[in-house]
Chains A and B, each alone.
Chain A
Amino acid sequence: MKENEKNKREWVKTAAIIFLSVMLVLTFFSQSIMNYSLPEVATSYAQSGTITAKIRGTGVVESGDPYEVKVTETRKVSSVAVKVGQTVQKGDVLLYLEDAESDELKEARKTLEAAQDEYELMLLTAEITSSNIYSASEGVSVEVYRKQISNAQAAVKKAEEAKKAAEEAKKAADAAIPANPEGVSYEVLVGQIQQAIKDHETQIAYESSEAVKAQDEINVNNKQNALNNAEAALATAQDNYNAAVENGSDEETVNNAWAAVCNAQAIRDTAQNEYNQAAAVRDGRPVTVANLQANLETWKLRLYNLQKDQTAATTTTEAGKKTAEEALAAAQADLDAKQAELKSLVDNINNVIKLEQQLDKIDKAQTTVDELTAKSVNATVTADISGTVTQVNVTAGNNTSASSPVVVLQPEGAGYTLSFSVTNEQAKRLSVGDKADLVNAWRYDDVEVTLASIKPDKQDPSQKKQLTFNVTGNVTAGQSFSVSVGQKSANYDIIVPNSAIREDSNGKFILIVESKPSPLGNRYMATRVDVEVLASDDTQSAISGALNGYEYVITTANKPVEAGKLVRMPE
């Protein structure tokens, strides 16, 4: 029983010791154990410095003003006399060509034959006269042709004018109206006379009509009656007066009776007059008619004479018209003849020119054939200017081609250029005149590269810009240069490595390490600081934010780091 109790106590003791020692170990190593679970971070010191944003690019040095030597024939090269980089003088031999009839020579011969055939064919056509052939072969001067043509043209012009005059004359003749010497047209006169005759006839008919006669008779009778009445009234008045005088009536009555007598007298006189007139009208009618008849005869005579005159005048006018028409026809015929002359002259000249052209063609083809024939033996290609050979595009045994240069020369004293394209954003940071640095500058001495122009890139004008640099110094065309060009560097207060910049929906930020003392050494905590990136270059960024410039900034970590959590610094 006691043994048992003792065993139990031993067991409790052992357990207590184990427990305490475990607690001790945990207490001492708790820091290390916890540290192990924390993300380990690498930090960098935020400091002031400079940022230089550089634009880099690579381009091939090209001759600013290359001189291309071309061989216009397809010829086989027997040997190349120069190498790239070699300096040549004007007249130096660049290539030797093998003796051969070039394709171009064969072609030239063919052209010549074709031209000759064509000339012969031309001679056979009907339009060509022997004088044409003679003129063509002799070569008539342009001056002579011009004189001939201008003469012919002048003749045509003259004929045209004559025709125009004839036309005018005809027009005038057409418009002419026969007129009597007084200047009034016959037609009007005839009309007037005819009207007068008509009037007279009407008048005569009226005057001699029975109705008029009867009317006259009635008028006379009426007037007669009136006269009778007036006389009766006068007689009565006379009687009254006499009676008054006899009766010894008073003066007034006598005076009144006298006045009445006077009045009746006047009325009777008037009636007498009217009666006389009416009688005169009635008696005058036959005389009037006789006069009218006489006048009518006169008018008729005049009409006859006038019509005779008119006929004569009309005949004269018609004759004038006919003459004018004939003159016009003649003028037209003359004009046609002159125009035909001019045309035939021009045709002739054309023929001569055509022949001359063909002869020229033959001459030229002959010259080409001669030249090429001369070249086909012992031919060389020589340098037209002094300079440096920058490209040799053929090798011995190969054929030259007429379109591509065989040798490119860099003329003495001409500069070099270098170009590459950049984005618009990059181009914005550059200005013409900026000096560019060569990458690996130690490889080249005294080479200077200066930005000469910024133009839209032809391949993508809206998005890209073509930078062209002037290159001076010890360079040759075809060298590839990588350059970097940029603004002057700017100073900033806080600069951190690019890897320190983080971003989330709240914007860009950095994580800085803040240390907190604890009984078991320092503890480090990652703290978030919102920043704004002011400028960046390849490795660093300038930032602004709530920083004093001496913080440790987390650049990288072995685990994701969260703001506000503890981190571990490398030992």
Chain B
Amino acid sequence: MKKIVLGISGGVSFLIFLILLFVSRSLGEAQESQTMAERWSDKKDVAQVSCFFSVNAGITEDRIIDFEHSVDGALTEASVIQESENPSARLWADAYSADGQVTLSSDKSTLSADAIGIGGDFFLFHPLKLLSGSYFSGNDLMQDYCIIDQDAAWQLFGSNNVAGMTVKIGGIPHIIAGVVERPSGRLEESAGLEGTLVYVSYQTLDELGSCNGLNHYEIIMPNPVTGFAEKLVREKLGTSEKETEVLENTSRYSFASRLKKITEFGTRSMNGRAIIYPYWENIARGYEDILAVITLFELLFLLYVIVLALVSFGIWWKHKGWTLRSAWLFVKDKAERAVEKHRAKRLERKRRKADGSGEKPVKKEKPFRKEKRAKKPKQPEV
């Protein structure tokens, strides 16, 4: 009875371990802002790197343009070249953004909202759910677009289907490129998505809104060796340790990273930098904590199964009815018998050959069958 209970508990533990493994994996994969690398390339040769700056870091668009040029140089040096036949293919893509506030006004009403001023291909990294319209890019010809969430759309126009309509920001008309659904949930709301959020171009935020300075940068780029991309960003874009934080998103939910998070328990919450995380980073950090706990449980359940297995193996070993020697002899005996049998067979064959008796027609059937098969593919030609 005791054995059965232990066996069942071991099985259940292993099952729970598997379920936790699956849950943690799917939780990590569900973070779209962190899984750009999987969307960007099927091969595992790219890395997504994020960089957060404090307000005092003094990062400007010019600085980022300089960095973009240095990326090309570094990739050439590492002899990473474009292999795709599609002429529009890029080796890397990047995005930067800034926090701030803007005031939008439609004919009906006016709305002050938190805003993210974007540059580069921001929405490649952060594919929000579009309710209507499309994304825009910092590389577009015009930069007078904005993307609003359904709350803002409702407050400004009373409808969600407002892509293509015009709102004024700082007196300048802007076209609503799309309406997105604002992610909701406990983590999301605490992360900075509790109120309306508007996405405008960095230029618009800088000139027509109140901007807190460029504070996030992201890049997806080839990673020929582990840590290549992160090192490049840290060296070429990072200012001082106090003002910058660089992290590789692609490996942040890997098992090794999660184990590391567990070892950082207690120190992880400490912060000596004046860096304000954007909402997606806050969410990602939240999930890091959750995954660390799940990983801890995974380890506990796995440990239970392993201990149980070891103990039962020990008990079984003790009570087994044989010794290593008896097993050896058994195997040896078997082997000798097999050799004997083989030898007998050979002798038999030799004897038959000497007799010249015909068992050969049976063997001839095989070539005959092969010919038939070989002919089959030729039939369509006829």
Contact = CB atoms under 8 A, between A and B. Distances in A.
Q: Does A pair with B?
A: yes
Interface of A: 53-56, 58, 425-426, 429, 439, 480, 482, 497-500, 503-509, 530-533, 536, 538-539, 555-556, 558, 560
Nearest to B221: A505
Interface of B: 32, 39-41, 46, 84, 86-91, 93, 121, 124, 127, 129-130, 133-136, 140-142, 144-145, 163-164, 166, 171-173, 175, 177-178
B141 A425 contact: yes
Contacts of B129: 556, 558
B29 to A, nearest CB: 10
16 contacts: A55-B141, A58-B171, A426-B142, A429-B141, A497-B134, A499-B178, A503-B88, A503-B90, A506-B89, A507-B88, A531-B88, A536-B140, A536-B141, A538-B177, A539-B133, A555-B134
B41 A505 contact: yes
A504 B145 contact: no
A446 to B, nearest CB: 22
Contact of B142 (A480, A505, A530, A538): A538
Which A-B residue pairs are the 7 nearest by beta carbons? A507-B86, A499-B134, A507-B89, A498-B134, A505-B41, A507-B88, A508-B88
B171 to A, nearest CB: 7
Nearest to B174: A56
A54 B129 CA distance: 27
A444 to B, nearest CB: 15
A47 B308 CA distance: 65
Contact of B88 (A533, A538, A555): A533
Majority SS of interface residues in chain A?
strand
Contacts of B90: 503, 505, 507
Contacts of B127: 560
A55 B141 CA distance: 8
Contacts of A480: 171
Contact of B84 (A497, A499, A505): A505
Contacts of A58: 171-173
Contacts of A532: 86-88
A56 B164 contact: no
A320 B193 CA distance: 118
B173 A439 contact: yes
B173 A503 contact: no
Nearest to A58: B172
Contact of B144 (A56, A499, A531, A556): A56
A505 B91 contact: yes
Contacts of B164: 538-539
A500 to B, nearest CB: 8
Contacts of A500: 134
Contacts of A558: 129
Residue of B136, B172, B178 ringed by the most chain A CB atoms within 10 A: B172
Nearest to A506: B84
A533 B89 CA distance: 11
A152 B14 CA distance: 125
A530 B136 CA distance: 20
Contacts of B171: 58, 480
A562 to B, nearest CB: 9
Given A504-B40, A505-B41, 6 more contacts: A439-B173, A503-B88, A503-B90, A505-B46, A538-B145, A560-B127
B135 A505 contact: no
Contacts of B130: 499, 555-556
Contacts of B173: 56, 58, 439, 482
A532 B89 CA distance: 9
The B interface is mostly helix, strand or loop, or mixed, namely loop
A505 B89 contact: yes
Given A482-B172, A499-B178, A507 B84 contact: yes
B81 to A, nearest CB: 12
Contacts of A55: 141-142
Given A482-B172, A482-B173, A499-B178, A56 B134 contact: no
Nearest to B29: A560
B124 A503 contact: yes
Nearest to B130: A556
A449 to B, nearest CB: 15
A436 to B, nearest CB: 14
Nearest to B203: A423
Q: Most chain-A CB neighbours within 10 Å: which of B46, B90, B121, B124?
A: B90
Contacts of A507: 84, 86-90
A531 B93 CA distance: 17
B231 to A, nearest CB: 20
A487 B292 CA distance: 56
A560 B130 CA distance: 12
B175 A560 contact: no
A426 B91 contact: no
Contacts of A497: 134
Query: Of A58, A504, A539, which is in contact with the most chain B CB atoms at under 10 Å from its CB?
Result: A504
Nearest to A543: B88
B93 A56 contact: no
A508 B85 CA distance: 11
A504 B178 CA distance: 21
A203 B104 CA distance: 137
A507 B91 CA distance: 9
B142 to A, nearest CB: 6
Contacts of B40: 504-505
B88 A539 contact: no
Contacts of B135: 498-499
Contacts of B133: 499, 539
A281 B201 CA distance: 139
Nearest to A480: B171
A507 B140 CA distance: 17
B176 to A, nearest CB: 10
A558 B177 CA distance: 19
A504 B41 contact: yes
A3 B140 CA distance: 83
Contacts of A425: 141
A536 B121 CA distance: 15
A53 B142 CA distance: 9
Contacts of B166: 439
A55 B140 CA distance: 11
B32 A560 contact: yes
B141 A503 contact: no
A429 B175 CA distance: 20
Contacts of A53: 141
B141 A506 contact: no
B39 A504 contact: yes
B8 to A, nearest CB: 25
A54 B141 CA distance: 9
A538 to B, nearest CB: 6
A507 B88 CA distance: 5
Contacts of B145: 538
Contacts of B178: 499
A498 B90 CA distance: 18
A46 to B, nearest CB: 15
A533 B178 CA distance: 20
Contacts of B88: 503, 507-508, 531-533
A19 B363 CA distance: 51
Which of B88, B124, B133, B178: most chain A Cβ within 10 A? B88
Contacts of B136: 498
Contacts of A482: 172-173
Contacts of A509: 86
A464 to B, nearest CB: 11
Name, among B121, B134, B136, B142, the residue most crowded by chain A CB atoms within 10 Å (CB to CB). B142
Nearest to A482: B173
Contact of A539 (B39, B46, B134): B134
A288 B145 CA distance: 139
B139 to A, nearest CB: 10
